[in-house]
């Protein structure tokens, strides 16, 4: 290849500078400035979008909330379909004097449990009153069907007590909150105390208190009676409380706290501890100012 042809080929390839100019390196192009950062905005979720949020942990005192909620929802279905209608039939079909007599008899059978726990709580006066109630109602009160002891001249009202109260009296805390089938709201402390309560009379009294017929019969009547007594509160929880489960939990823990504090002779403002949906509305005063909320 001739010299002219070689120079022409190199010129076309871009590797030879213009003729007559000294060879020099081409300067590197300066980097383009980065565009300013734009603030990130989060747009509102459109209908149908999937929004992922961080799940909050269970509330204090209720570490098993997810399991409790499942049990709670299942039991509400059973209550609406079966327990509630049966309790309503019991209330409407059984005359009130008969229901009151059955309640009195069950209360009388629980007096030995009350006595033992008042002794454990070092309350001899209340323990003696419990013995007096049991003796009067078991004899004059026809086996406890009539609560003679609460009337004149005795004036000894029934006070339910139990091992759960004794545990709380000596400072044992609630433990985790539980919602159990057939039992409902409770805590580890209260469940343990309940098991001891149920085992005391069969252990000490023997037959017929240790037979399944006695346990099933008294348990059914007590459950129906408690369900009737709880009906108004349950209706408010269902219809007026935005979070049924959390409100019932708060109600249960508030009433149990009041029970324990009462054993120490300390007053507790139960109304202030209840969920707002269960607090009684204060009637308006004549001058238009709100009245003071009544104490329970």
The residue range of the domain holding 215 is 65-221
Closest CA to 147 of 97, 109, 104: 104
Residue 86 lies in a domain: yes
SS3 22: coil
Tens of pLDDT, residue by residue over 229-260, are 999 999 999 999 999 999 999 999 999 999 99
Residue 17 lies in a domain: no
Query: pLDDT value at position 220?
Result: 93
SS3 193: helix
Residue 85 lies in a domain: yes
Higher pLDDT, 162 or 24: 162
Residue 94 lies in a domain: yes
| Both tokens assigned to 208 | 């017929």
For residue 261, pLDDT over 50 is answered with yes
Question: Model's pTM, two decimal places?
Answer: 0.75
- Provide Rg for the chain, Cα atoms: 38
Query: pLDDT value at position 280?
Result: 86
Closest CA to 261 of 123, 129, 165, 161: 165
Q: Mean pLDDT over residues 65-83, rounded? A: 96
Q: Mean pLDDT over residues 292-296, rounded? A: 37
285: DSSP letter: P
Residue 187 lies in a domain: yes
d(CA 109, CA 103): 10
Tens of pLDDT, residue by residue over 200-222, are 999 988 888 889 888 999 999 99
Q: How many domains does the chain have?
A: 1
For residue 189, pLDDT over 50 is answered with yes
For residue 48, pLDDT over 60 is answered with no
Residues 6+ away with beta carbon under 8 Å from 109: 144, 201, 218
Residue 287 lies in a domain: no
Q: How confident is the model at residue 33 (pLDDT cuts 50, 70, 90)?
A: low
d(CA 253, CA 288): 34
| Average pLDDT of the chain, as a whole number | 83
């Amino acid at each position: 290849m001739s010299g002219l042809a070689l120079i022409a080929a190199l010129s076309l390839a871009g590797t030879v500078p213009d003729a007559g100019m000294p060879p020099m390196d081409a300067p590197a192009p300066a980097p383009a400035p980065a565009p300013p950062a734009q603030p990130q905005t989060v747009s509102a979720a459109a209908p149908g979008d999937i929004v992922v949020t961080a799940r909050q942990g269970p509330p204090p005192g209720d570490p098993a909330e997810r399991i409790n909620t499942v049990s709670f929802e299942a039991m509400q279905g059973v209550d609406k379909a079966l327990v509630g209608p049966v309790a309503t039939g019991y209330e409407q079909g059984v005359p009130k004097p008969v229901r009151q007599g059955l309640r009195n008899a069950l209360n009388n059978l629980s007096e030995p449990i009350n006595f033992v726990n008042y002794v454990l709580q070092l309350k001899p006066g209340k323990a003696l009153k419990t013995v007096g109630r049991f003796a009067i109602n078991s004899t004059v009160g026809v086996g406890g069907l009539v609560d003679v002891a609460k009337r004149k001249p005795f004036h000894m009202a029934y006070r339910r007590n139990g091992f759960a109260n004794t545990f709380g009296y000596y400072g044992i805390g609630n433990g985790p909150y539980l919602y159990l089938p057939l039992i409902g709201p409770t805590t580890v402390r209260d469940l343990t105390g309940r098991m001891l309560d149920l085992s005391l009379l069969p252990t000490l009294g023997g037959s017929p208190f240790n037979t399944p017929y006695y346990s099933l019969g008294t348990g059914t009547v007590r459950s129906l009676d408690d369900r009737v007594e709880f009906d108004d509160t349950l209706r408010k929880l269902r219809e007026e409380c935005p979070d049924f489960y959390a409100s019932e939990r708060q109600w249960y823990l508030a009433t149990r706290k009041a029970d324990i504090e009462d054993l120490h002779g300390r007053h507790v403002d139960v109304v202030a501890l209840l969920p707002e949906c269960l607090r009684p509305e204060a009637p308006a005063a004549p001058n238009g100012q709100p009245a003071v909320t009544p104490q329970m």
